[in-house]
Structure 1
Amino acid sequence: MAMEFLKRVQLDEPEVDKRLNSISQNLIQENRSKIISIIKTIIFCGTTGCPLRGKTEEKGIFFKLIHFRIDTGDEILRKHIVSGNKNGKYLSPTIQNELINECGQVIAKGIVSEINSSVGFTVLADETADINGHEQLSVAVRFISESEARSCIREEFLGFSDLHADLTAESISKSILNFLQYLGINMELLVGQGYDGCSTMAGKVNGVKSIILKRYTSAIFVHCASHCLNLAINDLSRLPTIRNTVDMIKSTIKYFQYSVIRSGVLKLKSLCETRWTEKYKSVSHFYNNFIDIVKTLEDFTCIHPALLNSSFIINLIVISKYSAVIEPIAQMFQAPRIDLSEVWKHIELLILNLKQHKENSESEFSIIWHEGLEIAAKFNLELSFPRIVNRQLYRSNISDPNIDNAEDYYRTSVFMPYLDDLITSLEDRFSGHNKVVLKLATIHPMYFKELTKQDFLQKLSNIVEHYSTQFHTRSLLDEGSIWFDIWKARDPKTYHITFMELLSESSDFFPTITICIKIFLRLPVTTSSVKRSFLLYVG
Structure 2
Amino acid sequence: MQARLKHGTLRDTAFVTRPCIDYKKFMEKAVAYRDTNYHRESNIAAKKFVKSMETGQNVRANMEAQYSTQTKENRRLMTSIVETVMFCASGNIPLRGHSGDSGSFVNLLLFRIDAGDEDLKRHFARMAGNAKYTSPMIQNEILKVASNMIVHDIVMEANKSFVSVIADESCDISGKEQLSIVLRWSEKYKSIRIFKCNFKRVLEALDSLARDANSETRAKAFSLKSALEKSSVIYAVCLIGRYSALMEPLARALQAVGVSVPSVKNLTSSLQSVIAEERNDSEIALNIYKEACEIAGLKELTIPRVVEVQVYRDNVCADSASQYFKRSVYLPYVDGLSCSIRERFIDNPSFFSLLSILPPNKPVHVDEVERLYLLDNLQNEVRLWRTSLSSDVNDECLEGLLLSARDYPSVYTAIQIVMTLPATTVEAERSFSCMERVKTWLRSSMTSNRLSDLCVLHCHREMVTEEKINRVVSSIVSGKRRMDF
- TM-score, scaled relative to structure 1: 0.59
How many angstroms does 1:415 deviate by? Answer: 0.3
Partner Cα distance (1:446, 1:433) in 2:
19
Change over 3 Å in CA distance of 1:487–1:74 after alignment to 2: farther
How many angstroms does 1:364 deviate by? Answer: 1.0
Counterpart residue identity of residue 105, structure 2? F
Q: Percent identity?
A: 29
How many angstroms does 1:333 deviate by? Answer: 0.3
The yes-or-no answer on 1:531 pairing with 2:425 is no
User: Which residue pairs with 1:485 in the alignment?
Assistant: 388
Partner Cα distance (1:376, 1:108) in 2:
57
Q: Report the 3-state secondary structure (helix = DSSP H, G, I; strand = E; otherwise coil) of the residue aligned with 2:130.
A: coil
Within 5 A, what are the aligned runs for 1:110-509? 110-127=153-170, 129-132=171-174, 134-144=175-185, 275=186, 277=187, 279-298=188-207, 299=210, 300-360=221-281, 362-377=282-297, 382-389=300-307, 391-398=309-316, 400=317, 403-430=318-345, 433-438=348-353, 440-447=354-361, 450=362, 459=366, 481=384, 484-488=387-391, 492=392, 495=394, 497=396, 501-504=397-400, 506-507=402-403
Change over 3 Å in CA distance of 1:313–1:131 after alignment to 2: same
Partner Cα distance (2:308, 2:339) in 1:
27
Counterpart residue identity of residue 510, structure 1? R
Q: Report the 3-state secondary structure (helix = DSSP H, G, I; strand = E; otherwise coil) of the residue aligned with 1:123.
A: strand
Change over 3 Å in CA distance of 1:24–1:477 after alignment to 2: farther
How many angstroms does 1:116 deviate by? Answer: 4.5
User: Which residue pairs with 2:452 in the alignment?
Assistant: none
Change over 3 Å in CA distance of 1:72–1:480 after alignment to 2: farther
How many angstroms does 1:502 deviate by? Answer: 2.5
Q: Is the 8 A contact 2:193 2:244 kept in 1?
A: yes
How many angstroms does 1:304 deviate by? Answer: 2.4
Change over 3 Å in CA distance of 1:307–1:119 after alignment to 2: closer
How many angstroms does 1:417 deviate by? Answer: 0.8
Higher mean alpha-carbon deviation, 78-87 vs 89-98, is at 78-87
Q: Report the 3-state secondary structure (helix = DSSP H, G, I; strand = E; otherwise coil) of the residue aligned with 2:222.
A: coil
Partner Cα distance (1:82, 1:139) in 2:
43
Counterpart residue identity of residue 120, structure 2? L
Q: Is the 8 A contact 1:287 1:317 kept in 2?
A: yes
Partner Cα distance (1:352, 1:526) in 2:
22
User: Which residue pairs with 2:216 in the alignment?
Assistant: none
The one-character-per-residue Cα deviations of 1:498-526 (angstroms, maximum 9, x if unpaired) are xxx42156448837455433322221222
Q: Is the 8 A contact 1:340 1:433 kept in 2?
A: no
How many angstroms does 1:310 deviate by? Answer: 1.4
The yes-or-no answer on 1:40 pairing with 2:40 is no
Partner Cα distance (2:279, 2:427) in 1:
36
Q: Is the 8 A contact 1:140 1:529 kept in 2?
A: no
Counterpart residue identity of residue 102, structure 1? V
Q: Report the 3-state secondary structure (helix = DSSP H, G, I; strand = E; otherwise coil) of the residue aligned with 1:430.
A: helix
Counterpart residue identity of residue 359, structure 2? P
Q: Report the 3-state secondary structure (helix = DSSP H, G, I; strand = E; otherwise coil) of the residue aligned with 1:510.
A: coil
Change over 3 Å in CA distance of 1:310–1:486 after alignment to 2: same
Q: Is the 8 A contact 1:479 1:510 kept in 2?
A: no
Moved over 6 A (4+): 18-27, 476-480
Counterpart residue identity of residue 226, structure 2? P
How many angstroms does 1:416 deviate by? Answer: 0.5
How many angstroms does 1:411 deviate by? Answer: 0.4
Counterpart residue identity of residue 182, structure 2? V
How many angstroms does 1:57 deviate by? Answer: 5.0
Counterpart residue identity of residue 323, structure 2? D
Q: 1:510 aligns with which of 406, 416, 419?
A: 406
Change over 3 Å in CA distance of 1:465–1:321 after alignment to 2: closer
Q: Report the 3-state secondary structure (helix = DSSP H, G, I; strand = E; otherwise coil) of the residue aligned with 2:329.
A: helix
Change over 3 Å in CA distance of 1:140–1:432 after alignment to 2: farther
Q: Report the 3-state secondary structure (helix = DSSP H, G, I; strand = E; otherwise coil) of the residue aligned with 1:297.
A: helix
CA RMSD of aligned residues (A): 3.6
The one-character-per-residue Cα deviations of 1:151-191 (angstroms, maximum 9, x if unpaired) are xxxxxxxxxxxxxxxxxxxxxxxxxxxxxxxxxxxxxxxxx
Q: Is the 8 A contact 2:268 2:346 kept in 1?
A: no
The yes-or-no answer on 1:60 pairing with 2:103 is yes
Q: Report the 3-state secondary structure (helix = DSSP H, G, I; strand = E; otherwise coil) of the residue aligned with 1:323.
A: helix
How many angstroms does 1:101 deviate by? Answer: 2.3
Counterpart residue identity of residue 481, structure 1? L
Higher strand share: 1
How many angstroms does 1:90 deviate by? Answer: 0.8
The one-character-per-residue Cα deviations of 1:477-517 (angstroms, maximum 9, x if unpaired) are 779735642332xxx3x6362xxx42156448837455433
Partner Cα distance (1:432, 1:405) in 2:
37
Partner Cα distance (1:443, 1:535) in 2:
37
User: Which residue pairs with 2:24 in the alignment?
Assistant: none
Q: Report the 3-state secondary structure (helix = DSSP H, G, I; strand = E; otherwise coil) of the residue aligned with 2:223.
A: coil
The one-character-per-residue Cα deviations of 1:50-72 (angstroms, maximum 9, x if unpaired) are 22234555553222322333344
The one-character-per-residue Cα deviations of 1:288-313 (angstroms, maximum 9, x if unpaired) are 22212222323343222222221111
Partner Cα distance (1:19, 1:483) in 2:
76
Partner Cα distance (1:68, 1:508) in 2:
59
Asked which structure has the greater RCO (Cα within 8 Å, sep 6+), the reply is 2
How many angstroms does 1:387 deviate by? Answer: 1.6
How many angstroms does 1:394 deviate by? Answer: 2.0
Q: Report the 3-state secondary structure (helix = DSSP H, G, I; strand = E; otherwise coil) of the residue aligned with 1:125.
A: strand
Partner Cα distance (1:77, 1:444) in 2:
62
How many angstroms does 1:93 deviate by? Answer: 2.6
Change over 3 Å in CA distance of 1:478–1:412 after alignment to 2: closer
- TM-score, scaled relative to structure 2: 0.65
Structure 1: gaps of 5 or more residues: 1-10, 145-274
User: Which residue pairs with 2:126 in the alignment?
Assistant: 83
Q: Is the 8 A contact 1:138 1:533 kept in 2?
A: no
The one-character-per-residue Cα deviations of 1:9-61 (angstroms, maximum 9, x if unpaired) are xx9x89x8x99999877766554433222111111122222222345555532
